[in-house]
Amino acid sequence: MKNLGILLSGRGSNFEAIARNVAAGKIPAKIAVVVSNREEAPGLARAREMGLTARFIPSKGKEREAYDRDVVAALEEAQVDLVCLAGFMRILSPYFIRAFPRRILNIHPALLPAFPGLDAQKQALEYGAKFSGCTVHIVDEGVDTGPIVCQAVVPVLDDDTAETLAARILKEEHRIYSQAICLMLEDKVRIEGRRALITPWKYGQTP
Ligand code: GAR
CA of 11 to the centre of ligand 1 (A): 8
Atom 9 of ligand 1 has which residue's CA nearest to it?
A: 87
Q: What's the Cα-to-Cα distance from 10 to each of 46, 80, 197, rounded to whole Å? A: 11, 21, 31
pTM, full prediction: 0.95
Residue 8 has pLDDT above 80, yes or no: yes
The string of pLDDT tens digits covering residues 182-206 is 999 999 999 999 999 998 755 566 5
174 is catalytic: no
* CB neighbours of residue 56 within 10 Å: 14
Dist. CA 54–CA 41, nearest whole Å: 11
Q: Please report, rounded to a whole number, the percentage of residues in the chain having pLDDT higher than 70.
A: 97
Residue 199's pLDDT is what? Answer: 87
Q: Mean per-residue pLDDT for 106-131?
A: 98
The string of pLDDT tens digits covering residues 131-181 is 999 999 999 999 999 999 999 999 999 999 999 999 999 999 999 999 999
Its CATH architecture, for the domain 1-101, is 3-Layer(aba) Sandwich (3.40)
Whether 133 lines ligand 1, by a CB cut-off of 6 Å, is: no
CA of 3 to the centre of ligand 1 (A): 22
Please say whether the structural domain 106-207 has been given the CATH code 3.90.1260.10: no
Choosing from 55, 108, 137, 168, the catalytic residue is 108
Q: Which atom of ligand 1 has the smallest separation from the CA of 109?
A: 4
Whether 172 lines ligand 1, by a CB cut-off of 6 Å, is: no
Q: Mean per-residue pLDDT for 58-64?
A: 93
Question: Which are the contacts of 203, defined by CB distance < 8 A and separation ≥ 6?
Answer: none
Domain limits of the chain? Answer: 1-101, 106-207
CA of 158 to the centre of ligand 1 (A): 23
Confidence of residue 90 (pLDDT cuts 50, 70, 90): very high
Q: Which atom of ligand 1 has the smallest separation from the CA of 16?
A: 18
Atom 3 of ligand 1 has which residue's CA nearest to it?
A: 87
Residue ranges in 78-161 assigned as alpha helix (H): 94-99, 120-127
Same fold for the domain at 1-101 and the one at 106-207? Answer: yes
CB half-sphere exposure, 155, CA atoms < 13 A: 3
Whether 135 lines ligand 1, by a CB cut-off of 6 Å, is: no
Residue 185's pLDDT is what? Answer: 97
Residue 19 has pLDDT above 60, yes or no: yes
Question: Which are the contacts of 200, defined by CB distance < 8 A and separation ≥ 6?
Answer: none
